[in-house]
Amino acid sequence: MILILGGTGEARKLAEALTERGVEVVSSLAGRVARPRLPVGEVRVGGFGGPEGLARYLRENQVEAVVDATHPFAERIGANAATAAERTQTPLLRLARPGWQAGPQDDWHWAADLAEAAEMLADLGKRVFLTSGRQGLPAFAHLDDLWFLIRCVDPPEPPLPRHHELILARGPYEVAAERELLGRVDVLVTKDSGGAQTSAKLTAARELGMPVLLVRRPDRPATETAETVPAAVEWVLHR
């Protein structure tokens, strides 16, 4: 049995591709989204209880290999997976889509984390399109002199920026719609998630000549890595 740590589009595609090839797959979702898009095959929702709990799950279920196909910013589960795989001697693959790359017409600015992004905002604009996820919103809550157009999938919990408007939506998004939203702000803030599902906002910002403030990906444990679903499928089949 293969355990896929999922929640991403790549994880769903991998589960489908492996199931079609007769591989037994269990996809694990963190449960942070109220109505997640479910992959084919067996699905479990919720945490494992740290690396010890994950290691126990791997042993008890005779997991043959683990594919960490979580979001690029899900660093905790990535660290837990690396530790549990090492303790149980279970093969581990990280399925990580490449990050976004700036083109010659892009006005991109990079921050190490959300806290640094909040510090940099005042120099880039007063009206902000914030698409960094609901869990990171407290990092911007103290910026009372800025206005935020906030987009996330599920309703966020406080603290939130004092001056804001909330949009609840799930990608993929169209360039034309993103251009219309960006017409209301001065700067776009997002994480370097990579992939095409939410990249339309970057295209719209480029067309408008708008600055984009991107948060760099956190470090992940060193492990074997694939950038595409077909490469991950081949890795699993060779196990």
**Is CATH 2.60.40 the classification given to domain 107-215?**
no
CA–CA separation, 8 and 28 (whole Å): 11
DSSP states along 112-141? SSHHHHHHHGGGT-SEEEE-S-GGGGGGGT
Q: For the chain, percent helix, then strand, then coil, each to nearest 5?
A: 35, 25, 45
**Average pLDDT by stretches of 10, the chain with 239 residues:** 95 97 96 81 95 98 98 94 98 96 97 98 97 95 98 95 96 96 98 93 98 96 96 95
Domain boundaries of the chain, sorted by first residue = 2-98+219-237, 107-215
Q: Which of these CATH numbers, 3.40.50.300, 3.40.50.2300, 3.30.70.360, 3.40.50.720, describes 2-98+219-237?
A: 3.40.50.720
Q: For the stretch 124-150, what's the b/e string if a residue is b when 16 or more beta carbons lie within 10 angstroms of its beta carbon?
A: bbeebbbbbbbebbbbbeebeebbbbb
For 47, phi then psi, to 5°, come to -75, 170
* Residue from 8, 188, 185, 207 nearest 96 by CA: 8
Output the six-digit token pair for 92: 């581990």
Residues 94/68, Cβ–Cβ less than 8 Å: yes
pTM: 0.91
Can you say how many angstroms the Cα of residue 79 is from the centroid of all Cα atoms in its chain? 15
**Per-residue model confidence (pLDDT) at position 147:** 98
CA–CA separation, 75 and 217 (whole Å): 9
**Per-residue model confidence (pLDDT) at position 129:** 98
For 2, phi then psi, to 5°, come to -105, 130
**Per-residue model confidence (pLDDT) at position 52:** 98
Can you say how many angstroms the Cα of residue 100 is from the centroid of all Cα atoms in its chain? 13
